[in-house]
């Protein structure tokens, strides 16, 4: 296994949701396949993406447990508030940093975390897995995963 690739979020309208993520947080978006098949959004430069899935009824909004790290909680919360983003509880300080929770238009709840830079570097860095010394690498070609950018 090389890395975690995406996390699915059920939404009522994938294209509208992608526009929201782009407008509010500056995410890029990509579409794969037909209507609602795969709309992916991610912060600039991030390898992990949110897969916005539609067509699943009824929606079950709630806490996703998905957290985004910021280096300036106050500025980000202020910017998101200007876009009308709802925060179900006010941002708060914790012994390890700060946290806030916000909702997308479908009432899915996400977390914002502001933690010391050293913690981000040591715990959130993606690393390629290493193989045991006696393991052999496959010589089969890897499938290409091309994404059309909008």
The mean pLDDT value for 25-43 works out to 75
Write out pLDDT tens, residues 67-110.
998 989 999 999 999 999 999 988 999 998 999 999 999 999 99
Edge to edge, what strands does the sheet with 97-103 contain?
A: 63-69, 109-114, 97-103, 89-94
Q: Domain 6-127 class?
A: alpha beta
pLDDT band at residue 139 under the 50/70/90 scheme: very low
pLDDT of amino acid 143: 43
As given in the structure block, the two tokens for residue 100 are 């806030």
Write out pLDDT tens, residues 47-57.
788 888 887 77
Q: Evaluate if residue 121 carries a pLDDT over 70.
A: no
pLDDT of amino acid 91: 94
| Helix, strand, or coil (residue 23) | helix
Q: Mean pLDDT, the chain, as a whole number? A: 78
pLDDT band at residue 134 under the 50/70/90 scheme: very low
User: Contact at 8 Å (CB) between 29 and 21?
Assistant: yes
Residue carrying structure tokens 């009522």? 12
Q: Evaluate if residue 132 carries a pLDDT over 50.
A: no
| Gap between the Cα atoms of 95 and 53, Å rounded | 36
Rounded to whole angstroms, the maximal C-alpha distance in the chain is 56
pLDDT of amino acid 40: 79
User: Is residue 91 left, alpha or beta, with left meaning phi > 0 and alpha meaning psi from -120 to 50?
Assistant: beta
So where are the chain's domains?
6-127
As given in the structure block, the two tokens for residue 70 are 């910021």
Percent of the chain surpassing pLDDT 90: 35
Which stretches does DSSP call E strand in the chain?
6-10, 28-32, 38-42, 49-53, 63-69, 89-94, 97-103, 109-114, 148-149
Model's pTM, two decimal places?
0.73
| Helix, strand, or coil (residue 81) | helix
């Amino acid at each position: 296994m090389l890395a975690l690739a995406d996390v699915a979020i059920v939404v009522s309208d994938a294209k509208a949701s992608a526009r929201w993520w782009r407008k509010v947080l500056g995410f890029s978006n990509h579409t794969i396949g037909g209507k609602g098949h795969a709309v992916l959004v991610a912060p600039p430069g991030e390898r992990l993406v949110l897969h916005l899935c539609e067509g699943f009824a009824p929606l079950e909004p709630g806490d996703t447990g998905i957290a985004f790290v910021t280096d300036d909680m106050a500025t980000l919360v202020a910017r998101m508030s200007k876009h009308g983003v709802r925060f179900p509880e006010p941002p708060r300080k914790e012994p390890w940093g700060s946290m806030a929770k916000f909702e997308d238009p479908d009432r899915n709840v996400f977390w914002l975390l502001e933690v010391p830079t050293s913690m981000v570097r040591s715990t959130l860095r993606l690393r390629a897995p290493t193989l045991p010394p006696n393991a052999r690498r496959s010589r089969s070609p890897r499938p290409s995963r091309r994404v059309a950018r909008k």
